Amino acid sequence: MQSTLEAAYAKVNLFLGVTEKRSDGFHEISSVMHSLSLCDRLTVGVESSVLPEIRLRVFPKSNIPEDQRNLVWRAAAAFLERVRIPLSVDLTLEKIIPSEAGLGGGSSDAAATLRALNRLLGAPLSTEELLLLAASLGSDVPFCLLGGTALCTGRGERIVPISEPLSLYAVVCKGSEGVSTPKAYRALDLLYSDFSDPSLVPMQSADGMAELCRRRDSLSVAKGLYNVFESVVYPSCPEAMAQRDRLLSLGADGALLSGSGSAVFGLFSDLERARKAAERLDGFAFVAESAPASLRYPD
């Protein structure tokens, strides 16, 4: 059996706005995503088989499913169907990224599955083909496939890379609260009947944040953080709001809810300051740096 180990990097949203609800039930977003060194670890093994077979094990043991309900399993199935090669696929997932955190853990795991299988089989799919497959699995999977820093629009699947490397130091923390992404979107729909509401227009824009990233202006990035979900998540997740405030009191240049939550992150000017802050936080607190881009962006 051939096997490989793949890192599945977490993502944070440096900027996340919602511009409209679409007729298909999804939402149009405008976001700048950034991948961090916090990661799950996925071991993928393949061998020839008369009939395709997928086996998934998740550690540590939890309520995370190990069958077709898991996005990793579905990513492997979609890949095998696309390449039409009969294989036995063995997947072992070590979970580090918290669930229901807005850190893209499930999406990143699925993306790592696609990358690993494509590499093991000698790259039968191009980057563009992998991106289409990723988009069929979930809105954040295309970004997680590529990693780095990018401006993401549409459901999140339209990606404009920010090629200049952005170096950030972050403390990611999450308490006992969890947030369901569909429920968070429903809360937004209830609060804002029209996403053109002036209260939803921040001082910064996603394009503006992307430009700050291109300039590698990490301090301005930290000061310009924005996430529309803070308006609906914090009232039901007071622990997350307290963690954001705590990060700021510990010297973060900026702090924000990630995605639909409930994880929050703070950006720091240097790694040592980030480490000292993390030592003073309770619960899950991870010191992270910027992660490398996973694949080259298409030309």
Hey, which residues are catalytic here? 11, 140
- Cβ-contact 44, 25 below 8 angstroms: no
The tokens describing 53, both together, are 């077979």
- Residue 44, Cβ density class (10 Å: 0-12 exposed, 13-18 middle, ≥19 buried): buried
Distance (Å, whole) CA 156 – CA 32: 10
Provide the edge-to-edge strand list for the sheet that holds 169-174: 254-257, 264-268, 169-174, 284-289
> Which residues on neighbouring strands pair with residue 21, listed in sequence order?
27
264-296 residues labelled b (16+ CB within 10 A) or e (exposed):
bbbbbeeeebbeebbeebeebbbbbebbebbbe
Distance (Å, whole) CA 261 – CA 271: 24
Residue type, 106: G
Tokens 């995605």, located at residue: 259
Determine the distance from the C-alpha atom of residue 145 to the mean position of all C-alpha atoms in its chain, rounded to a whole number.
Answer: 10
- Cβ-contact 9, 220 below 8 angstroms: no
Determine the distance from the C-alpha atom of residue 241 to the mean position of all C-alpha atoms in its chain, rounded to a whole number.
Answer: 20
Closest CA to 168 of 69, 298, 290: 290
- Cβ-contact 120, 79 below 8 angstroms: no
